[in-house]
């Protein structure tokens, strides 16, 4: 500490670049501070620091982090505690640009594996960013000293030391995540693809606020015919609605909660913080939301099971375009999901291409089958399940054409699910049988394609590697800007950054091997699971969060101008 004080006092009012002399390691009474990177300008990305507290000093009971699941949960809890301490004890606004800013990447409603806090038997380490204070582009040593010697010790004391935190809250957080992981693993043995516990609060505050709606939200209650009970390790017996394997249709009037339920299932692949309302909503880990995405790139995807015989003989077995239509993009999304091994497709008619989903009898009569290149999803949905084991949950409020194809039909009535399968079957008739698949090719998952390694270069100009995120929905990768706003199960900007670094890792270590894209990406993810997110970065930072294989592959699939083998 004394050396840091001396350095600060010697650079007061000097050029901002003088802050570079602070880079190094400093010992405090209860922790060690490492200034890992110093920003070159008060308007640039804030400086990166690490705080390391010995486990003996931190005092976390061994049982709170005794398993990998518990460790991730506790790391998440500590990151959130630090964020609260920052908000309560850091003044901010200490000068020009980002002066006075202190932040930690602690995430939103989902609990993800991150590198913001790293916990092991020896110590707890937290990675923060700090905007070093400036007047114009001159060092403000006194303001920096306030941050380093008053605010930072207070944040560490109240955000990292177990004795200053709530033991009950820490235990609840860890046990809640442990139960969610168990619940998701239980689904397959129970013959389910999803489970929504009684009492769950599904509505969110708004389209940009993922926190639970606090006023007027009705707790979910499972219909008796679909009710299942599971015994969780910590919460005990929990009753809820089981969504069985097969084809499940979600119907109902507008504004009654159909898309809200589907949105909860989309996010059910992740764990949630206590109090979110969806802590006991679990979905098959491989579930993939598929939708129409006009204008996206598609590279060498076999969409012929859905779209064939295009005018002018265009190849749909190795379909490639930089400007996909709604129907071709949705067909590609399904085939790409199968390539990643999905066992559950989540589909909402509101975000689907109408001509891809259905074609009624009048249109069939007017447009001869040999003139129509699209085989609607309706006529593949049973094949997906019966031949490939891929279930579907489909929200459909405007057409009853899917009644015959459905195994289960759930109606949302004022946000409450009602089992109407029997009534739907009575109304179904034999409509589906009037449109046999005929000679159209059967579904075959993609297994062998991969991009050329040279096309995955992350360099830009003189920079060997340029990887960053423009918010959650856009990835900057070398010369590429990859649009991810329609990849709806990407939930955190840290995941977007990690996707970029994982692509770079794959390009360096896996793309040269004679294996498919998905096999290579799966191998890269396995390495990160075993060794941690830090292996992706050439420096110390705490701004990454673990993505799934599906979102990682989705990013590569949306890169424009790639050559594929």
- Measured between alpha carbons, how far is residue 37 from residues 22, 361, 416 in Å? 9, 65, 52
- Domain residue limits, the chain: 2-165, 288-434, 453-557
Is pLDDT of 433 > 60?
no
pLDDT-above-70 percentage for the chain: 95
Tell me the three state secondary structure of residue 265. helix
* Residues 234/175, Cβ–Cβ less than 8 Å: yes
* Residues 86/157, Cβ–Cβ less than 8 Å: no
**Mean pLDDT (whole number) for 266-274:** 98
* Structure tokens that stand for 3 in this block: 């050396």
Instruction: Say how many residues make up the chain.
Output: 565
Q: For residue 477, what are the contacts with CB-CB under 8 A and spacing of at least 6?
A: 458, 466, 467, 500, 503, 504, 555, 559
Q: Which residues pair with 124 in a beta bridge?
A: 53, 119
* Residues 432/378, Cβ–Cβ less than 8 Å: yes
Look at residue 434 in the predicted model and tell me its pLDDT: 44
* Residues 145/5, Cβ–Cβ less than 8 Å: yes
Phi and psi torsions of 373, nearest 5°:
-80, -10
* Residues 129/1, Cβ–Cβ less than 8 Å: no
Closest CA to 485 of 467, 502, 470, 503: 470
Look at residue 437 in the predicted model and tell me its pLDDT: 47
Give pLDDT tens digits for 394-405.
999 878 889 989
With residue 383 as reference, give the H or E element that holds it: helix 381-388
Phi and psi torsions of 55, nearest 5°:
-60, -35
In which residue are the tokens 């054409």 written?
Answer: 401
Tell me the three state secondary structure of residue 178. helix
Q: For residue 386, what are the contacts with CB-CB under 8 A and spacing of at least 6?
A: none
The mean of the pLDDT values for the chain is: 93
Q: Which residues of 352-361 are buried (b: 16+ CB within 10 A; e: fewer)?
A: bbebbbbbee
The pTM is what?
0.95
CB atoms near residue 19 (< 10 Å)? 24
Is pLDDT of 265 > 70?
yes
pLDDT range class, residue 448, cuts 50, 70, 90: confident
Calpha distance 81→68 (Å, rounded): 20
**Mean pLDDT (whole number) for 529-546:** 97
- Measured between alpha carbons, how far is residue 273 from residues 108, 174, 231, 303, 334 in Å? 9, 9, 20, 39, 30
Q: For residue 60, what are the contacts with CB-CB under 8 A and spacing of at least 6?
A: 74, 119, 124, 162, 170
Q: What single string gives the DSSP state of each residue in 179-211?
A: HHHHHHHHHHHTTEEEEEETT----EEETTEEE
pLDDT-above-90 percentage for the chain: 85
**Kind of pairing, strands 247-251 and 391-395?**
parallel
* Structure tokens that stand for 210 in this block: 């993922």
In which residue are the tokens 């590609």 written?
Answer: 332
Look at residue 369 in the predicted model and tell me its pLDDT: 61
Give pLDDT tens digits for 172-224.
999 999 999 999 999 999 999 999 999 999 999 998 999 999 888 999 999 99
Q: At what angle do helices 549-557 and 326-339 cross, to 10 degrees?
A: 140
Give pLDDT tens digits for 301-358.
999 999 987 776 688 999 999 999 999 999 999 999 999 999 999 999 999 999 999 8
């Amino acid at each position: 500490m004394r050396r840091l004080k001396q350095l600060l006092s010697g650079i007061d009012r000097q050029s901002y670049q003088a802050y570079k002399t602070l880079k190094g390691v400093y010992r405090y009474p209860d922790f060690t501070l490492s200034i890992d990177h110093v920003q070159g300008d008060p308007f640039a990305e804030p400086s990166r620091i690490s705080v390391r507290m010995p486990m003996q000093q931190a005092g976390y009971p061994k049982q709170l982090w005794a398993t990998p699941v518990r460790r991730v949960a506790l790391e998440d809890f500590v990151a959130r505690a630090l964020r609260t301490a920052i908000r309560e004890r850091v003044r901010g606004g200490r000068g020009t640009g980002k002066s006075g800013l202190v932040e930690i990447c602690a995430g939103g409603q989902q609990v993800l594996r991150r590198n913001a806090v790293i916990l092991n038997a020896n110590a707890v380490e937290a990675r923060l960013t700090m905007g070093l204070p400036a007047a114009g582009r001159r060092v403000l040593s006194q303001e920096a000293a306030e941050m380093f010697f008053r605010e930072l010790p207070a944040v560490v004391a109240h955000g990292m030391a177990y004795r200053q935190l709530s033991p009950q809250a820490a235990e609840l957080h860890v046990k809640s995540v442990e139960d969610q992981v168990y619940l998701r693993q239980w689904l397959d043995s129970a013959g389910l693809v999803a489970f929504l516990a009684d009492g769950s609060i599904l509505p969110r505050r708004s389209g940009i606020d993922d926190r639970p709606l606090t006023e007027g939200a009705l707790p979910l209650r499972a219909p008796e015919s679909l009710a299942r009970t599971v015994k969780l390790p910590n919460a005990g017996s929990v009753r809820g609605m089981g969504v069985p394997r097969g084809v499940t249709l979600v119907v109902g009037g507008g504004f009654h909660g159909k898309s809200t339920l589907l949105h909860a299932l989309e996010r059910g692949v992740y764990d949630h913080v206590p109090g979110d309302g969806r802590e006991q909503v679990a979905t098959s880990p491989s579930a993939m939301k598929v939708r129409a995405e006009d204008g996206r790139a598609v590279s060498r995807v076999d969409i012929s099971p859905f779209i064939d015989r295009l005018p002018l003989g265009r190849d749909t077995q190795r379909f490639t375009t930089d400007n996909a239509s709604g129907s071709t993009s949705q067909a590609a999304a399904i085939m790409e999901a199968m390539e990643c091994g999905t066992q559950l497709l989540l589909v909402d008619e509101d975000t689907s291409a109408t001509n891809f989903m259905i074609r009624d009898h009048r249109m069939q009569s007017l447009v001869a089958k040999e003139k129509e290149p699209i085989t609607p999803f309706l006529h593949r949905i049973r094949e997906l399940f019966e031949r490939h084991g891929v279930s579907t949950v489909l929200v459909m409020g405007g057409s009853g054409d899917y009644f015959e194809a459905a195994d289960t039909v759930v109606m949302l009535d004022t946000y409450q699910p009602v089992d109407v399968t029997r009534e739907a079957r009575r109304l179904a008739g034999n409509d589906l049988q009037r449109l046999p698949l005929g000679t159209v090719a059967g579904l075959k998952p993609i297994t062998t394609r991969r991009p050329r390694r040279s096309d995955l270069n992350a360099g830009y100009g003189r920079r060997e590697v340029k990887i960053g995120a423009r918010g959650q929905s856009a990835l900057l990768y070398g010369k590429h800007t990859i649009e991810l706003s329609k990849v709806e199960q990407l939930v955190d900007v840290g995941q977007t950054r990690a996707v970029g670094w994982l692509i770079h890792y794959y390009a360096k270590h896996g793309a040269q091997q004679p294996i498919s894209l998905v096999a290579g990406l799966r191998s890269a993810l396995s390495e990160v699971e075993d060794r941690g997110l830090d292996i992706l970065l050439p420096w110390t930072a705490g701004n990454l969060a673990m993505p799934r294989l599906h979102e990682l592959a989705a990013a590569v699939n949306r890169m424009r101008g790639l050559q594929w083998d």
